[in-house]
Amino acid sequence: MLIFCRQDLTENERGAILDAARAAGFEPLELGSTRIALHGEGERAGLEALPGVLRIGALPDTPVLVNEPDRRVVRVGPVEIGTGFIVAAGPCAVEDRQRLLDLAHAAKAAGCDILRGGAYKPRTSPYSFRGLGDKGLEYLKAAGEATGLPVVTEVLDPRDVAVAAEHADMLQIGTRNMMNYSLLVEVGRADRPVLLKRGMAATLAEFVFAAEYILLEGAPGVVLCERGIRSPEPSMRNTLDLAAVPALRHQTNLSVIVDPSHATGRRELVPPMTRAAAAAGADGVMIEIHDAPDQALCDGKQAVHPDRLAALVENLRKIAALAAEAEESQ
């Protein structure tokens, strides 16, 4: 069963509900500040009348919040995701204050909307560079302020969420952590919109449930990011599942952006795949850029040079407009 509580529930009331649920034989589980799931076989009588309880319903089998009728427009600083085509760009990893600043200015000048960059980097080998950590967050914040671009950055550890939320406008959950439910809960509580990347072998149903985890905790918005799934094809890093874009937009109220850099791992495939994303109806793309890709500490082979960005962004907006036009006329 699922208890729906009043928005202005007091801590006393919450405690009383939890105690009563346990006394009635249930295992209660708080889902954000206004819902309490009851598991196990208990006795429902009496719970409905407790102060602060609005009503008691069944536990849903399918996601609820992501299926509400109104599309969820997400605000990231001055940018809206869900009302036009946005471009996020930046280096894979933050490596150096000046280089980041230069890339941020290049992204801004090319017409990009959001600055991306990794301070905490999840790496397959423990011997690899794992990012600059808190220092990277500071560089990102400074680059965002210098350019006016809002900043998105990945968090890996629930204990880093608070500090990341102080420095970034949007928090990213990476592909390796899409099923890290402790982390999803924690970012859901950080009062920041969340960019949720698809797990590298996650089904769309699992992906959407992960977004529900975050929204239940009160996050002001979730944006999905398709970034490719594992397949037997060896010539690319992953297989970009672009059909997921219209499928997710049909079945949820969420915006969907696409990351062709991690999906393909090959620089020459990034521009055509950003175009394909725009045509498929995506709400935006995220592109890795680097001014000296061969020196990059992380994923240089997939980075696009900032010189090519302005023409690409302009072309993408035209394709996105044609796709939007066609969709509306259907």
To a second copy, the closest distance from the beta carbon of 48 in angstroms equals 19
To a second copy, the closest distance from the beta carbon of 325 in angstroms equals 7
308 contacts a second copy (rule: CB under 8 A): yes
To a second copy, the closest distance from the beta carbon of 127 in angstroms equals 5
Q: Which of 75, 108, 130, 189 binds a second copy (CB under 8 A)?
A: 130
212 to 231, contacts with a second copy by CB under 8 A? 212-213, 216, 229-231
Region of 67-75, 140-148, 219-227, 232-240 interacting with a second copy (CB under 8 A): 232-240
Residue 154 has phi, psi (to 5 degrees) of: -85, 140
302 CA to centre of own chain = 21
- What span, in angstroms and rounded, lies between the C-alpha atoms of 117 and 303? 12
Give the other-Cβ count within 10 Å of 280's Cβ. Answer: 20
* Token pair listed for 176: 């390796």
Closer Cβ to a second copy, 92 or 149, answer by number = 92
Q: Could you tell me the sign of the dihedral formed by the alpha carbons of 128, 133, 138, 142, in that order?
A: positive
Q: Which of 76, 209, 219, 252 binds a second copy (CB under 8 A)?
A: 209
Contact by Cβ (8 Å): 81, 73: yes
Q: Which of 17, 31, 149, 286 binds a second copy (CB under 8 A)?
A: 31
177 contacts a second copy (rule: CB under 8 A): yes
| Closest alpha carbon to 208 in 157, 255, 171, 276 | 255
To a second copy, the closest distance from the beta carbon of 273 in angstroms equals 6
Give the other-Cβ count within 10 Å of 261's Cβ. Answer: 29
**CA dihedral of 312, 314, 319, 322, whole degrees rounded to 10:** 180
- The DSSP bridge pattern shows strands 194-197 and 222-226 to be parallel
263 contacts a second copy (rule: CB under 8 A): yes
233 contacts a second copy (rule: CB under 8 A): yes
Q: Which of 56, 204, 300, 301 binds a second copy (CB under 8 A)?
A: 204
Closer Cβ to a second copy, 46 or 181, answer by number = 181
246 contacts a second copy (rule: CB under 8 A): yes
273 to 302, contacts with a second copy by CB under 8 A? 273, 275-281, 297
55 contacts a second copy (rule: CB under 8 A): no
Region of 7-15, 69-77, 152-160, 219-227 interacting with a second copy (CB under 8 A): 152-160
Phi-psi bin for 51: left (phi > 0), alpha (psi -120 to 50), beta? beta
To a second copy, the closest distance from the beta carbon of 241 in angstroms equals 5
- What span, in angstroms and rounded, lies between the C-alpha atoms of 242 and 68? 24
182 contacts a second copy (rule: CB under 8 A): yes
* Token pair listed for 1: 């069963």
- What span, in angstroms and rounded, lies between the C-alpha atoms of 186 and 165? 11
272 contacts a second copy (rule: CB under 8 A): yes
253 contacts a second copy (rule: CB under 8 A): no
